[in-house]
Amino acid sequence: MITFAHTKKKNLLNFNGPSVERLLKKIDQKLAHETSSNNLKRLKKLLVRKRTLQKNRRNIFEKCPPKFDQQDEPMISHNSTSSYQFYDDICYEILSFIDDWKLILLTCSLISKQWLNVVRERVKLCVEFKNPIVSKKTIKLMMNRECLEQFESMNVRGISRLQFYKIFEKTKQLTKLDIGKSIIWLEGFKSITELKHLNSLDMNNMVFMEKESKLELLESISQLHQLTCLNISSNNVGFNTFKPIGNVKQLTYLDVSWNYISDEGAKVLSQLSQLTHLNVNCTIIGIEGAKYISKLTKLRTLIAARNNFWIEGCQYFSEMEQLTALDVSHNSIGNTGIKYLSKMKQLTELNINDNAINQFGTEESKLIRELSQLTKLSISSNNIGIEGVTAISTMSQLRTLNIFFNRIGLAGAKLISGMQNLTVLDICNNDIGTNGAKEISKMKQLTKLDIARNMIGNEGAKALKSMKQLKSLRNTFNNIIWNDDEDLSLGEIL
């Protein structure tokens, strides 16, 4: 009789039944994407392995020793006790094609002790709960699994049960955790502070059940010495509560947007010298706060929209020579702010939406053109005029342009249509009309277009139909009259 090493009779039946069927199905799904010429060798190897699996499945079911053709690579080891089992490498190869953590945890790990060991020793699981309501039964089932230590990443947004936090007591190897929009208790967070390998933590928009838990939570974060990425946005954190974050010196990525940290909080941020990405959107930071932030010499990306630092803040930011991406939208920096920002020749991304920028003159046009490294520019909800559009249209390096609500009209659309390197364009609400849509339709390199609220009518919609390369199109509120005798749709794009 053929037996599997470390496998009981009931597990043998499980192996012959749905387990292998599901594994083979996963391989089929993988093979469906492995058809390019560069992967022919790997494809052939996978096909041989799949064929061998099918033979093994049939032989095991009939309880007779497996037989191989000469060209087949043996995938089952035979020892002196007449036990047959897959090599560990083959088990791992099969598991690597499965992206369903539940299948690995609740099925594959139960095939035999060998499969359990392969899962425990080699597989790193990424877990995502799409349904935020996790039942007690699911929690109990997970708590009884020996493979919880293999969880490397967990996305469990919207936790509403205290019992779920106990799972973290068994996930000691976790490196990435997202529990945003969850209900949290002090008892629950204590288990998170034991995750010593954690390097990324997302806790945005949390519901704190105890009044003092918010402060204790932030104080506990300093115990996570491997943590480099932290998101605590939208938590109504004030300055006094925010102070402990200054102790997490190793942070490189921090999102504290939509909190009330003010200039004093910005002073705390200036202590985090390793930061390369900082989001302080809507945090009541003023001129003094901008001065503190400008001291972060390793910062590459700064999102500082919806604050109160105005023109003076731009002056401080312009001294940050290492910045490559800057968002100072909704700050009323005006035309004078352009003067300071134009000094940042290294910028590749700039967002100056809604900043009370008025008609461009000769000086402003010259200054904006000096940003020769820009590939992404957002300048919506201003009033730059035709001079501004003329200046922007000469920036041939731009790949993405957001010029929403600037009333540029047909003349502006003609200028923009000549920007041959643009792939993403938002020209919404600019009164370009039918002829403007026809001009934009000439941009065959565009892959994403927002042309809503421009009153382009049926003729404009017909012109857009020629843009077969578009992957995304927004074309709403354009006075288009749908008739049965004409097709103005763009298939799945609309």
Under 8 Å between Cβ of 463 and 486 = no
CA distance 267 to 276: 17
Q: What are phi and psi of 74, to 5 degrees?
A: -60, 135
Domain layout of the chain by residue ranges: 9-116
CA distance 448 to 242: 40
Res 470 pLDDT > 80 = yes
pLDDT of residue 173: 85
Nearest Cα residue to 31 out of 9, 15, 49 = 49
Average model confidence (pLDDT) for the chain?
83
207 DSSP 8-state letter = E
Res 328 pLDDT > 60 = yes
Under 8 Å between Cβ of 236 and 259 = yes
Please count the CA atoms within 13 angstroms of the CA of 47 that sit on its side-chain side.
10
Buried/exposed code over 144-182 (b: 16+ C-beta within 10 A; e: otherwise): ebebbebbbbbebbbbebeebbebbebbebbbbbbbbbb
CA dihedral 483, 488, 491, 493 (to 10 degrees): -120
**78: confidence class by pLDDT, cuts 50, 70, 90:** very low
pLDDT tens digits, one per residue of 439-463: 999 999 999 999 999 999 999 999 9
Name beta bridge partners: 253: 229, 277
Using DSSP's 3-state secondary structure scheme, residue 394 falls into coil
**490: confidence class by pLDDT, cuts 50, 70, 90:** low
376-378 vs 400-402, strand pairing mode:
parallel
3 DSSP 8-state letter = B
Under 8 Å between Cβ of 270 and 294 = no
* 131 or 234: which leads in pLDDT: 234
Under 8 Å between Cβ of 227 and 198 = yes
Take residue 164 and report the two structure tokens written for it: 């779920």
CA distance readout (Å), 428 to 34, 65, 408, 436, 442? 40, 69, 10, 12, 17
* 130 or 57: which leads in pLDDT: 130
Res 13 pLDDT > 70 = no
pLDDT tens digits, one per residue of 263-310: 999 999 999 999 999 999 999 999 999 999 999 999 999 999 999 999
Name beta bridge partners: 326: 302, 350
406 DSSP 8-state letter = S
Least confident piece of the model among 40-49, 58-67, 302-311, 375-384: 58-67
**134: confidence class by pLDDT, cuts 50, 70, 90:** low
Nearest Cα residue to 31 out of 14, 23, 43, 21 = 43
DSSP H helical segments within 226-280, as ranges?
239-242, 262-269
Res 81 pLDDT > 60 = no
CA distance 206 to 201: 13
pLDDT tens digits, one per residue of 362-395: 899 999 999 999 999 999 999 999 999 999 999 9
449 DSSP 8-state letter = E
Take residue 380 and report the two structure tokens written for it: 């919506």
Please count the CA atoms within 13 angstroms of the CA of 456 that sit on its side-chain side.
31
Under 8 Å between Cβ of 285 and 304 = yes
CA distance 458 to 155: 45
Percent of the chain with pLDDT over 90: 53
Take residue 299 and report the two structure tokens written for it: 């910062």
Tell me the helix, strand and coil percentages in the chain, rounded to 5: 40, 15, 50
Q: Which amino acid makes up residue 171?
A: T
CA distance readout (Å), 391 to 170, 333, 380, 395, 443? 59, 19, 15, 7, 19
pLDDT of residue 17: 43
pLDDT of residue 437: 98
Under 8 Å between Cβ of 251 and 227 = yes
Res 57 pLDDT > 60 = no
Longest Cα pair distance anywhere in the chain, in angstroms?
Answer: 90
In total, the chain counts a number of residues equal to 494
